[in-house]
């Protein structure tokens, strides 16, 4: 089909599409209800899944007792580095003391502390959770919370109860991955 050279593009377009029906005006925030504030739904979903996984981990394994050693090593971490961590041979670059915190407070403090340690590119940190001797004869709450939470984090390469001079079974030394 050939078109005369003098017809403009808009006339050709109108003839090609034919009759149109105008759309109804869309309500804007100025004329209708205000739009709700945006939410980070995927982040909220990830957080709730992580909390569910954390609760499952707490229920699935036997809790640590007051004198038990907390220990964990990723498969890709050389055994020699883990031995150095166990002996307390890494320089501790920051420390978090959770004494007196509730489980909910301790979890928030621990997540914030580890995030800041990662941001500052710390290699080794100490977390003091206490031995849990006041746990009314039950398992030490903060010690188990720290153990389970550290196992879940991708930025934690290994952790081990500190040597006696650095807190013993009432603290853990944590080896962190660099960004």
For position 53, which CATH number holds?
Answer: 3.30.1370.110
State the Cα–Cα distance between residues 19 and 34, nearest whole angstrom. Answer: 35
Q: Per the domain annotation, does 55 fall within a domain?
A: yes
pLDDT at position 100, please?
A: 87
Q: Per the domain annotation, does 14 fall within a domain?
A: no
Residue 179 has pLDDT above 70, yes or no: no
**pLDDT tens-digit readout, 125-153:** 999 998 876 655 667 888 888 999 999 99
And the tokens for 116?
A: 């800041």
Contact 127/96 with Cβ under 8 angstroms? yes
Total number of domains in the chain: 1
Q: Per the domain annotation, does 25 fall within a domain?
A: no
Compute φ and ψ for 151, nearest 5 degrees: -65, -25
Q: Per the domain annotation, does 31 fall within a domain?
A: no
Cβ neighbour number for residue 109 with a 10 Å cutoff: 15
More confident: 85 or 4 = 85
More confident: 96 or 69 = 96
- From the number of C-beta atoms within 10 Å of its C-beta (0-12, 13-18, 19+), residue 32 rates as exposed
- Domain hosting residue 94, numbered range: 41-176
Q: Per the domain annotation, does 15 fall within a domain?
A: no
pLDDT at position 34, please?
A: 72
Mean pLDDT, residues 106-121 taken together = 93
State pTM to two decimals: 0.64
Angstrom CA distances, 72 to 69, 93, 148, 151, stand at: 10, 20, 10, 7
Q: Per the domain annotation, does 33 fall within a domain?
A: no
pLDDT at position 110, please?
A: 94
pLDDT at position 17, please?
A: 87
Contact 66/132 with Cβ under 8 angstroms? yes
pLDDT at position 45, please?
A: 72
Q: Per the domain annotation, does 111 fall within a domain?
A: yes
pLDDT at position 135, please?
A: 55
Q: Per the domain annotation, does 34 fall within a domain?
A: no
pLDDT at position 41, please?
A: 77
**pLDDT tens-digit readout, 97-108:** 999 888 889 999
């Amino acid at each position: 089909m050939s078109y005369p050279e003098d017809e403009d593009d808009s006339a050709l377009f109108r003839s090609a599409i034919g009759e149109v029906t105008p759309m109804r005006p869309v309500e804007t925030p100025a004329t209708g209800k205000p739009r709700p504030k945006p939410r980070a739904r995927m982040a909220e979903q990830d957080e709730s899944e992580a909390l569910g996984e954390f609760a499952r981990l707490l229920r699935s394994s036997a809790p640590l007792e007051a004198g038990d050693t907390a220990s964990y090593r990723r498969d890709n971490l050389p055994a020699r580095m883990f031995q150095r961590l166990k002996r307390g041979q890494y320089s501790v670059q920051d420390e978090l003391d959770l004494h007196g915190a509730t489980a909910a407070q301790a979890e928030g403090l621990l997540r914030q502390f580890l995030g800041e340690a990662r941001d500052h590119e710390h290699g080794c940190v100490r977390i003091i959770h206490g031995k849990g001797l006041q746990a009314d004869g039950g398992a030490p709450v903060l010690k188990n919370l720290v153990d389970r939470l550290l196992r879940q984090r991708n930025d934690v390469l290994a952790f081990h109860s500190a040597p006696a001079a650095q807190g013993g079974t009432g603290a853990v030394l944590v080896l962190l991955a660099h960004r």
